[in-house]
Amino acid sequence: MAKVLIAGGAGFIGSHTCLVLLEAGHQLVVFDNFSTGSPESLRRVQELTGTAGSDRLRVVEGDIRRPLDLSKAFATGWGRFDAVIHFAGLKAVAQSVHEPLLYWDVNVGGSQHLLAAMAEHGCHTLVFSSSATVYGLPERIPIPETAAVLPINPYGHTKAAVERMLADLAASDGRQAPEGGEPRSGGWRIARLRYFNPVGAHSSGRIGEDPQGPPDNLFPYVSQVALGRRPRLQVFGGDWPTPDGTGIRDYIHVMDLAEGHLATLEALWNEPPQLLTLNLGSGRGYSVLEVVRAFERASDRMVPFDLVARRAGDAAHSVADSSEALRRLGWWARRDLSQMCADGWAWQQRHPQGYRSAG
Ligand code: WQD
């Protein structure tokens, strides 16, 4: 049993990863400010894993921008954490364009405080939630990890900046002694996981994606149209250089993504200090219209849509080359688009208003 700190563990990917780690027998502290995640998601995770009332999951409310809050997360009395998974950040591209300083403060400043707290408390193993957004407009498909990091929006710039910070940290000797303290042994074990398009929900329908306000992303929007909560989907561009003219993306089931985090931790724990950078995608692209049709089949509902102008900053095609994750972790995405739609719909149907619904 390992002790893992999950920063941002009450969010969509964080809560599903907590479930997988608890099922693997680990002990978790979730550190979250609940600005976008919900405490209810963690109660559901405990219910689903039979750990409610046990001491397997503790929750510390706080903000990664406040060192005093972070020190609370490291002062649980469990001793040193065996790893940190860092999900805590803002992820809306459009919002980042309007509020770049907020994104730099939370995503980069917050990461800096978290890393300093890790070093201070002798934890040098980190899994970082990065994003395919760091690639910007890809030159070739599928996209390998060696592709140029050329983000085109503030959100992507902040993810690339934290990736750079982690590379510098991994290159340091990892034995930096705190002021006047004893040098610590061992270097940094760091993984930068570049997610493609995480969608779907745990098959129980009890935890899932709970966007605040009108969803920016395709999947939750389609889901809310199928539910009747929104009248129509706007398809951003029908004139892309793709077979049906609509954008193609690499959708990955959130449970595959969560399992990828467990596999990453096991690799970091069993290998020497390293900086590991991996694409976590399915390696399979689907167009917007293919997603709409798949969701209609899974939900037995209509998803009316209008073809409208392209969205600024979009690329025609983005699909992962995730062969490195298979080679290094023995991990690959197992669940297909119909499973993503079925599980996403099961969550949405039971939770028309997300965690604010009875469910
Ligand atoms: C998918 C496709 C749109 C909405 C973003 C972030 C990325 C990651 C995942 C955090 C595109 C089309 C969408 C709609 C549409 N998030 N679309 N109508 O843009 O690939 O990636 O979310 O890490 O960082 O950039 O995902 O779901 O917004 O778009 O037609 O209402 O659906 O044009 O082709 P994207 P998305």
Which pLDDT tens digits describe the chain residue by residue (359 residues)? 999 999 999 999 999 999 999 999 999 999 999 999 999 999 999 999 999 989 999 999 999 999 999 999 999 888 899 999 999 999 999 999 999 999 999 999 999 999 999 999 999 999 999 999 999 999 999 999 999 999 999 999 999 999 999 999 999 865 555 555 444 445 999 999 999 999 999 999 999 999 999 999 999 999 999 999 999 999 999 999 999 999 999 999 999 999 999 999 999 999 999 999 999 999 999 999 999 999 999 999 999 999 999 999 999 999 999 999 999 999 999 999 999 999 999 999 999 999 998 66
311 CB within 6 A, ligand 1: yes
Give the pLDDT of residue 217.
97
Please give the Cα distance from 217 to 210 (Å, whole number): 12
Amino acid at 87: F
60 CB within 6 A, ligand 1: no
Atom of ligand 1 nearest to the CA of 236: 30
Give the pLDDT of residue 183.
43
Helix or strand (DSSP H, E) at 62:
none
DSSP state letter for 106: I
Please give the Cα distance from 331 to 295 (Å, whole number): 26
Look up the CATH number of domain 3-356. 3.40.50.720
Helix or strand (DSSP H, E) at 233:
strand 233-236
* CA 215 – ligand 1 centroid, Å: 10
Q: Name 233's bridge partners.
A: 305
Atom of ligand 1 nearest to the CA of 197: 9
* CA 236 – ligand 1 centroid, Å: 10
134 CB within 6 A, ligand 1: no
215 CB within 6 A, ligand 1: no
Task: Count CB-CB contacts under 10 A for residue 146.
Answer: 9
Please give the Cα distance from 102 to 40 (Å, whole number): 26
Atom of ligand 1 nearest to the CA of 198: 9
Give the pLDDT of residue 173.
67
Give the pLDDT of residue 78.
85
Runs of H (alpha helix) within 104-153: 110-120
Atom of ligand 1 nearest to the CA of 129: 23
Do β-strands 248-249 and 286-287 pair in parallel, antiparallel, or remain unpaired?
antiparallel
Which residue's CA lies nearest to atom 7 of ligand 1? 133
Most ligand 1 atoms within 8 A of CB, residue of 199, 288, 307, 340 to mutate: 288
Give the pLDDT of residue 77.
80
Which residue's CA lies nearest to atom 16 of ligand 1? 91
Decide: helix, strand or coil at residue 210. coil
Q: Indicate which residues carry an active-site annotation.
A: 155
Q: Which of 139, 144, 167, 162 is nearest to 276 (CA)?
A: 167
Which residue's CA lies nearest to atom 9 of ligand 1? 197
Both structure tokens of 72: 């609370």
Is 114 within 8 Å of 85 (Cβ atoms)?
A: no
Our CA angle for 189, 192, 193, nearest 5°, is 130
Q: 323, exposed or middle or buried, with CB in 10 Å at 0-12, 13-18, 19+? A: middle
Runs of H (alpha helix) within the chain: 12-23, 39-49, 67-73, 93-98, 100-103, 110-120, 154-171, 218-227, 254-270, 288-299, 323-329, 337-350
Please give the Cα distance from 359 to 348 (Å, whole number): 9
Q: In Å, what is the CA distance from 75 to each residue of 3, 58, 80?
A: 13, 12, 9
Helices 218-227, 288-299: axis angle to 10 degrees equals 40
93 CB within 6 A, ligand 1: yes
Which residue's CA lies nearest to atom 24 of ligand 1? 133
218 CB within 6 A, ligand 1: yes
Give the pLDDT of residue 175.
52
- Tell me how far the alpha carbon of residue 59 is from its chain's centroid: 19
Give the pLDDT of residue 184.
45
Whole-model pTM? 0.95
Q: Name 258's bridge partners.
A: none
